[in-house]
Each structure stands twice: as structure tokens, then as C-alpha cells.
Copies of this chain bind each other. A is one copy, B any other.
Amino acid sequence: MSATTHPADCQSFGDRCLSDEELQRLLREDCPYGDLTTTLLEIGAKPGRMTFATRHETVLCCTEEAARLLELLGCTVTALQPSGTLLPAGRKFLVVEGEAGRLHLGWKTALNLLEAASGIATRTHALVAEARAASPAIEVVATRKVFPGTKAVAIKAVYAGDGLPHRLGLSESVLVFAQHTVFLKSTQALWARLPEMKRRAKEKKIGVEVTDRDSALAAAHAAADLIQIDKMNPEELLELVPLLREAAPQAVVAAAGGINDKNAREYAQAGVDLLVTSAMYWGKPADIAVSMEALTV
């Protein structure tokens, strides 16, 4: 097993997906006006070391952000594994030194970030592994159904786990849902409109979501670039895909709706090009151990 599943090194801020300002907003969220416990204990100035280690097999994510957060507090990072690293249980991956007051200021915020992001990365990795076990060229793409406000972390974690984002939002891709078609005269009107949409948005693949066999075939005949089939079971899909390949050899066929690590392999076996899912976003955070030790000066 490769130690690194994905480099994830082209993030928005170099190797990070959160700016200093965003990290400091997270710090303030947890500690708006000083740390009362550490202050009352009068341990703030004592030197210490804080170590983060895996408790399970984990694809790391947001180690760079956690490290930077602790640097912003005045700590020194002495060891760091990059996002995308796959580690077995029990491995140290982030070690920082600094005054006890500073370590405690960052502890939980860094941990929460690492656990949330690594949880998504690890689940993405599992989904990809399941899908590729059945279909090596398949891609698992993550929907935009993130917890509102967490998109930068979520997408970095998807990359770290070797997935890719599906749509990033409404401005950069075209995907027609039934909720759009309801405003047309008929579904037929959509097929009639596709050529004009393709003419205008020449740089984009035009996608259509369908939920049944007839619509899927209609989309194929109408030359949709992406046919996204929602909530169809793997068996039906297995029958449908060859028909779509015949009708539209160039079209990308995607399965969506309820895909998770239990059924990803089965969906992959149905022969689709893409699995579209939000399953990686939701689940338990990665379990990460933190130990703290006092250093003698």
C-alpha cells in the first residue's frame, strides 16, 4: 500500500485550503477571550510538546492547516506528514513544541479539524478502493452536499482520499435536474433545447440527471454529454449501461443516489464511468490521539 494516496499539493493557499484569517477565525470560535483554565492553573509559560497520532488506519488531511494554526499561536512544528498520507494505526504524524498555554489554545481546534478532514479523506479512500476493485478506471466524485461552510476542507479531503469533486457549484457546470424541467413545457422540450445549450456552452459537458431507463435513453439520443442516473439499483443499471453505450458512445454515464462504501463495488460493476456520492462527507470523524508532555527548560 502506497504511503501517499494523493499529493493534494495544489491547494488554494499553497499546501493549505484555509487562509491564516480563516484559521484564526476558528481559534476565536473556540477561545474568544483567553483560556480560563490554563490561566487559573498558571501553567501557561511552561514548555511542552504535543503529539498527534493515528488510532486507526487513516488517510491524513489538513495536517498543514493544523500545523499552521499552531504556528500562528507561536508553537514550533517539529514533525509533519502531508495531507494524503495513508497511515496505519499508532503512527505519530504531527509534533509541535511550545508553551503550555499556546499548545492548549490550539489543541482542540487543530484536533477537530484533523479529525473531520481525515474522516472524509479516509472514507473517500475506502469508496475509491471499493469502486476500483470492480472497475479500475472508474472515478468517485463528491457532490456539493457538504455541511454548509465547510466546502474548502471537504474538497481538499476528497482530493486527499483520491476522489475528485463532482460539481463545485452552479456557476461552472451544467446539470439539468427534473426540478429544472418542470419549468419547461415538457421533458421533450429539454431534448429539443440541448443542441442550443451545447452550442452556447461549448467548453462544458452538458449533463442531465434522469431516474429511469427511458429518460436515460432519451438523453443519450439527445446527445447529452453526461447522463447521471439517480437512484437506480445496480441490477437495472447493469442492463441499461450497454444500451447507453450503444446509443451514445461518447457520453459519460454516472450513477448517483445512495451510493456508499457498502454498495460502491456493485455500482462499479454495473459499468458506469462515475460514482457520484456524498457518502464521504457524513460519518464519524477520524479518531486521533493527542498526547501532551512537559519539557524541562
Quickly give the copy total for this chain: 6
Q: Determine the distance from Cα of A151 to Cα of B31 in the docked complex, in whole angstroms.
A: 13
Q: Determine the distance from Cα of A189 to Cα of B250 in the docked complex, in whole angstroms.
A: 24
CB of B41 within 8 A of CB of A168, answer no
Chain B's nearest CB lies how many Å from the CB of A288?
11
* A156 on interface, CB distance cutoff 8 Å: yes
CB of A169 within 8 A of CB of B31, answer yes
CB of A101 within 8 A of CB of B9, answer yes
A202: which of B24, B139, B165, B293 is its contact (CB, 8 Å)? Answer: B139
| Total interface residues in chain A, CB < 8 Å | 117
Interface-side segment among A53-61, A170-178, A233-241: A170-178
Q: Determine the distance from Cα of A107 to Cα of B10 in the docked complex, in whole angstroms.
A: 13
A243-266 interface code vs B (CB 8 A; 1 in, 0 out): 000000010101000000000000
* A116 on interface, CB distance cutoff 8 Å: yes
**Residues in B neighbouring A282, C-beta threshold 8 A:** 282-285
With CB as the reference atom, state the residue of chain B lying closest to A74. Answer: B14
Chain B's nearest CB lies how many Å from the CB of A68?
11
With CB as the reference atom, state the residue of chain B lying closest to A204. Answer: B205
CB of B202 within 8 A of CB of A274, answer yes
* In the complex with contacts A179-B107, A202-B252, A282-B283, A40-B174 CB distance below 8 A: yes
CB of A203 within 8 A of CB of B274, answer yes
With CB as the reference atom, state the residue of chain B lying closest to A172. Answer: B172
* In the complex with contacts A42-B7, A149-B149, A156-B34, A139-B200 CB distance below 8 A: yes
A41: which of B41, B111, B197, B207 is its contact (CB, 8 Å)? Answer: B197
* A28 on interface, CB distance cutoff 8 Å: yes
With CB as the reference atom, state the residue of chain B lying closest to A282. Answer: B284
* A217 on interface, CB distance cutoff 8 Å: no
Q: Determine the distance from Cα of A15 to Cα of B39 in the docked complex, in whole angstroms.
A: 12
CB of B169 within 8 A of CB of A40, answer no
CB of B113 within 8 A of CB of A148, answer yes
Interface positions of A (Cβ within 8 A of B):
7-15, 17, 19-22, 24-46, 48, 72-74, 99-102, 104-105, 107-109, 111-113, 115-116, 137, 139, 141, 144-153, 155-156, 159, 164-176, 178-180, 182-184, 190, 193, 196-197, 199-205, 207, 226, 250, 252, 254, 273-274, 282-285, 290-294
